């Protein structure tokens, strides 16, 4: 992480505040705090701010809020930025039916890692993963923190259609497809949660950058039950807040 | 007060000014490729600037109205016919129940590839996540999340009172966004400008690039001299804006447009100004483009000037209307 964040121009209507040039948890936590702080101030002329692994893109209307003025606002917001957000984990528990038809590439992951299915599931559910950012498709989260013994390269031939909710592994990354889309991740299971729902005006996406995901193994029957509920009337997944000391 | 699509043309989409506020969810903004033409069209009709209209890519659209309304065609110089008779672009035209509107081709040498057909009241499709814009890749917004097809029946919102009095109003040429075309595209240094050699930067700003066949609402791929990186083309993903100029490993620019991905992992040498990105959106395969380096302040001036032009058009319309009203 840089000592001082860099302000980078990104056209006449956007400024990037860059905290690091690498994937770093500390930098990401800091930019999430800046994002929340700016959102809370509800500054006229800021259209939205978009977090990535290492930077925050602040989209603004340069006629209402010129660049120099925005720089001053961000500078002062950075000054009072503590790391209090560091101590709390907002956790979303994501139920996953592993293996079988829900996880057609489970055998690939087992043979690549040399672990049996039970062990893959155990390791995939034993560590919380941190959501650095959302991108690729609406609601798709870029997660860090996968148990490295599960790392498996992408499929040589990507699939043209992966159903929404599929949970996969690609190298050291893991994540869930938020909408039906093409992709090359090794699919090990499927979550019944609706990760992207454009018709939900309040929460079109379940996961927000800065959240932690805790995968939890469920049976196929349980999958069907939750899926039915989610499709029929919406399903509120378990969310919890824990202090960071619990998991080192 | 709907209309029916007889022939959809190559690509006809419902667009308003875009779905802002959801990029942190990975959802792009969409909206018009040439926002300035859309906004002028709406102001000519007395609509809100953000009212939804049809973005028409290349001629071919044919629609039949099932109720009366006023329309205005802005953007590229498409030739428009209403009930078999040529009608002027950049002019508010009245259509009646049963009127057939056809985009026939170009009037003269083509000056762009996208036009906006604005209608009094604006197009009525469900508002999805704050916007009526179509995002086809995400299959959301607009008309059922897709381009218009033959047989679709599309509704209009209730127009403002006195909408009929806009009929015949004409936008003077000095306010049309295409008037500067032919000049270079203004661009500011991008967030990874320092990832390029001095030679690479010079190449980008001095050489001529050609618009390739690979152009769509997501991005414009350009061909021309290779732009030299200092180290490599890949970075840890960061944010992308409308106009971001990515230079991937092959050294050829890709300018990202309305349906861009929200984040990306290629170095961005520059960002085309908001104004010039709309001008680029009117370019067609084979067209030559050049870039000129400007500061953010200079790029913003185009936007300030446009706002005052837009107010001027609005005042002209109001004057036009009050004269007709008293007649």
pLDDT digits (tens, 9 = 90+) for A172-212: 889 999 999 888 999 999 999 999 998 887 889 999 999 99
Give me the mean pLDDT over the A3-23 stretch: 95
**A238 in contact with chain B, both atoms CB, cutoff 8 A:** no
Contacts of residue A50 in chain B, CB cutoff 8 Å? 23-24, 239, 262-263
- From B21, B129, B238, residue closest to A198, measured CB to CB: B129
Residue B265: which pLDDT band, with cuts at 50, 70 and 90? confident
Residue A233: which pLDDT band, with cuts at 50, 70 and 90? confident
Domain borders along chain A are: 6-86, 88-243
Of chain A, the percentage scoring pLDDT greater than 90 comes to: 80
Q: Looking at domain A88-243, what is its CATH homologous superfamily?
A: Cyclophilin-like (2.40.100.10)
* Cβ–Cβ below 8 Å for B261 and A138: no
Contacts of residue A198 in chain B, CB cutoff 8 Å? 128-129, 138, 140-141
Coil, helix or strand at residue A49: strand
Name every residue whose Cβ is closer than 8 Å to that of residue B221 and which is 6 or more positions away in sequence.
B212, B214, B215, B252, B253, B254
Closest of A172, A167, A178, A211 to residue A51, by C-alpha = A211
Q: Judging by beta carbons within 10 Å of its beta carbon (0-12, 13-18, 19+), is residue A216 exposed, middle or buried?
A: middle
pTM: 0.93
Show the tokens assigned to B2: 């709907």
pLDDT at site A85? 56
- From B25, B239, B243, residue closest to A205, measured CB to CB: B25
Are A81 and A4 within 8 A, CB to CB? no
Q: What's the rounded Cα separation, in Å, for the pair B283 and B312?
A: 27
Q: What distances in angstroms separate CA B148 from CA A150, B30, B151, B153, B187, one per listed residue?
A: 45, 16, 9, 9, 34
CATH code: domain A6-86 is 3.30.1360.40
Buried b (16+ CB within 10 A) or exposed e, A48-77: bbbbbbbbbbbbbebeebbbeebeebbeeb
Residue-wise pLDDT for A87-108, tens only, equals: 689 999 999 999 999 999 999 9
As for the ipTM of the complex, it is 0.95
pLDDT at site A86? 61
Which chain A residue has the Cα nearest residue B145?
A: A198
pLDDT score of A215 more than 90: yes
Any idea of the CA torsion for A185, A190, A191, A195, to the nearest 10 degrees? 40
* Cβ–Cβ below 8 Å for A9 and B190: yes
pLDDT score of B1 more than 60: no
- Give chain B's domains with CATH numbers: 3-178 (no CATH), 181-294 (2.40.100.10)
């Amino acid at each position: 992480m840089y000592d001082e964040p860099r302000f980078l121009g990104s056209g006449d209507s956007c400024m990037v505040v860059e905290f690091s040039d690498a994937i770093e948890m500390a930098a990401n936590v800091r930019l999430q705090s800046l994002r929340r702080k700016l959102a809370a101030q509800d500054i006229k002329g800021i259209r939205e701010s978009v977090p990535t692994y290492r930077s925050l893109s602040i989209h603004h209307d340069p006629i209402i809020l010129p660049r120099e003025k925005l720089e001053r606002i961000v500078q002062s917001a950075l000054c009072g930025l503590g790391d209090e957000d560091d101590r709390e984990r907002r956790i979303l528990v994501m139920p996953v039916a592993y293996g079988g038809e829900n996880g057609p590439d489970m055998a690939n992951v087992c043979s690549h890692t040399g672990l049996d299915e039970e062990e893959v599931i155990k390791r995939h559910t034993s560590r919380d993963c941190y959501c650095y950012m959302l991108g690729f498709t609406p609601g798709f989260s870029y997660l860090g923190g996968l148990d490295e013994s599960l790392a498996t390269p992408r499929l040589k031939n990507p699939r043209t259609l992966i159903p929404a909710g599929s949970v996969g592994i690609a190298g050291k990354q893991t994540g869930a497809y938020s909408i039906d889309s093409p992709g090359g991740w090794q699919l090990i299971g499927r979550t019944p949660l609706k990760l992207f729902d454009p018709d939900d005006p309040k929460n079109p996406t379940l996961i927000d950058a800065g959240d932690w995901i805790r995968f939890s193994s469920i049976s196929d029957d349980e999958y069907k039950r939750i899926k039915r509920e989610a499709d029929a009337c919406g399903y509120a997944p378990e969310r919890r807040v824990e202090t960071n000391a619990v998991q080192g | 007060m709907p209309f029916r699509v007889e022939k959809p043309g190559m690509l006809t989409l419902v667009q308003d000014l875009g779905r802002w506020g959801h990029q942190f969810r990975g959802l792009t903004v969409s909206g018009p490729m040439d926002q300035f033409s859309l906004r002028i069209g709406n102001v000519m009709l007395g609509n809100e600037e953000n009212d939804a209209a049809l973005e028409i890519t290349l001629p071919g659209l044919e629609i039949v109205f099932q109720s009366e309304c006023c329309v205005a065609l802005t953007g590229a110089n498409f030739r428009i016919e209403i009930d078999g008779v040529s009608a002027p672009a950049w002019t508010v035209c009245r259509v009646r129940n049963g009127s057939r509107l056809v985009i026939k081709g170009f009037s003269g040498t083509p000056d762009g590839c996208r036009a906006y057909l604005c209608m009094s009241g604006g197009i009525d499709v469900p508002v999805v996540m704050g916007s009526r814009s179509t995002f086809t890749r995400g299959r959301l917004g607009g008309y059922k999340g897709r381009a218009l097809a033959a047989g679709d029946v599309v509704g209009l919102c209730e127009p403002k009172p006195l909408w009929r009095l806009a009929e015949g109003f004409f936008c003077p040429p000095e306010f049309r966004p295409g008037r500067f075309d032919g000049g270079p595209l203004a661009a500011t240094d991008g967030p990874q400008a320092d990832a390029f050699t001095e030679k690479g930067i010079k190449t980008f700003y001095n050489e001529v690039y050609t618009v390739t066949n690979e152009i769509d609402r997501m991005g414009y791929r350009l061909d021309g001299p290779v732009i030299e990186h200092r180290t490599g083309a890949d970075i840890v993903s960061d944010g992308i804006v409308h106009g971001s100029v990515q230079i991937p490993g092959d050294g050829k620019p890709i300018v990202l447009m309305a349906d861009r991905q929200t984040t990306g992992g290629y170095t961005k040498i520059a960002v085309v100004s908001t104004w010039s990105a709309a001008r680029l959106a009117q370019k067609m395969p084979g067209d030559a483009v050049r870039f000129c380096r400007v500061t953010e302040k200079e790029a913003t001036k185009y936007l300030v000037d446009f706002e005052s032009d837009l107010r001027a058009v609005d005042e002209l319309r109001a004057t036009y209307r009050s004269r007709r009203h008293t007649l």
